[in-house]
Chains A and B, each alone.
Chain A
Amino acid sequence: MDELLSRLPLREPTFFILLSLSPGPKHGYAILKEVESLSEGRVLLSTGTLYGAIKRLLDDGWIRRVDDPLPNGTDRERKAYALTEPGRRVLNAEIERLRKLVNVAQMQANEERV
């Protein structure tokens, strides 16, 4: 776990990609759309950035390839990606880190107001 924590903080695209896979496996285009939606249009990934990140996450063992849960009706083979246990742990650790950050920031901001 300590080794996972040493990888924090995550880069924003990495965080959003992991977050997009949190509910369940997704294929490349679905991840792209989900990241755009989760970030309210702020993080627009190009395919190069997306697959560069996917490759690193696969290498790190944070995500894995699975069968496409939503076949698109064509003959084309489609790959989907799912969070692995270490991937979920690192995502949770990042969420926790961000939560603490927000708490500290809110407390500080409230003190200033008082």
Chain B
Amino acid sequence: MNPLRLISHRFQRAPIRHKLSAIIALTCGVGIVVAGAAVFGFHAYTLRTAFQRDVVALAAVVAENLAGPLTFKDPRAALEVLHSLKAKPQIAAAIVRRLDGEVLARVGSTAPAAETSTAIATDFTGWQLQATLPVQVRGETVGTFSLAADFRTTFLDSLGAFVLSLLGICAAALTAALGVGYWLQRFITLPVLRLSRAAAQIGERQDYSVRVAPAGADELGVLTAAFNAMLERIHASDTELRRMNAILTKEIEQRQQLQSELVETSRLAGMAEVATGVLHNVGNVLNSVNVSAGVMREQLQQSRLATLRRVAGLLTTHSDNLAGFFATDEKGRRVPAFLARIVDQLDFEQRRFDTELKGLAANIEHIKEIVAMQQTYAKASALIEEVDLGQLIEQVISIHRSSLQRHLVQVAREFPPSLPSVPTDRHKILQVLTNFVANAIHALKTNPAAQRRLTIAIRPALGTGELALSVSDNGEGIHPDNLKKIFRQGFTTRREGHGFGLHSGVLIVKALGGTLDVESPGPGLGSTFTLRLPLRPAARGRATAHATPIPPSAFAPRAASLRDSGNHRPPPRASISRPLSA
């Protein structure tokens, strides 16, 4: 990360106290450094001037001391004088010349310009200062003294000392500024800290009764007051919310209680539905049995057994002269023809009884089947298993067979011969479908006998991983107003209805992770009930896109349907669909 951004990032995350301290320190530091730089600039300028003055003064002093050596032409004494310059590190070189230009003595490496002058001459170039002074004795010039001095050492020494003192001043000023700042920060950070702590406390404990101590009349004071006022409102709202929440929780508990009661009621109602269906169909079959029994009893009542018994009496009476009886007696002559008619009659009766008995036996067998099936489903409750929907549909049709036949309902099956099994509760789905078919049969009663059509279809709900099983009829249909209410508990349009069937169906299917919809174009135009079930168990959630896809070709209408109606209406465009979840 860019160092500048890193610093900025850190700065943003730092507590306000640290930010204020940093701002104070930075401002102080910048101020001191800028002031220091300005002071040093001035200092450097005066230092340069002072350096020049000092060097010239030093040169003058040395020149004064060189008067003797120059006068007495004493190079050793001159050198001694020059050696006294060693104490001055800024002096780079020094040279003493006599008037004739001859060098009397010199120190240092760099040779100052060879010039003789009767006046003081200085040349400050860069870091180098050269000063040449005449050496005079009683106003008479006896030689010259030249000095080369390096300003750099002096400057750097001064700079070093200045920087050190600047650092010291900075440290002292920062300490003082931070100290004062720390003391003054209370007026800003303390209220902010209080606000922050209060906010943290609220965040942790959800305790809205916390209040922040008032902090003067500045912006922070206003903020604190506003914060407190806000807390006041939140506290009131929170209290109200808690109260409402308690009420709601209680209501939810009550509703859950009611719901579970309702579910139980629905379950019982569902069982009752199946039982009603079973009993209804058993009743229908028993009706056929009764009819068969009546037919046979009637047949038996019409039997020619008494006539036969009289013929047998006549034959017994005329047993000694049977030939005469048959030949002469009027009655005897009619006996053979009579017997022939009896035989025909008995033959007819035998065939009729046989037929009726066969029907009777079949009906009794059917009753056994219905009862056995109901018992099977009653046992297997709340068991999720792989269910073959085709087989299940056949069983539903089987339960309703006598009703369907009696009401001359044509049944069309629109599903492929092999269907994927669906993980679901067999009994509950049977219960739902039984209810669907029962409703359809009821709805078809108003149609002319030749126009009663029931279609059971299975289609994939594309892309949702579901199977859609629909039961359609072209019966009395549903009024749009009723479509909205049809799944409600206790809603029914039938005089003998109880309004539990579809409602319990909704609850059942919901529990199995499916949906229940109804569509109807309107009264007299039939209706379609659709059950959608996930191909994966409901426990894994609603059907997902990962469900095994079923090729749409598998759902081509079954070629061998019982009676293909041929003029099946397409689903209405303006149908009202009520999703289960609503």
Same assembly: no
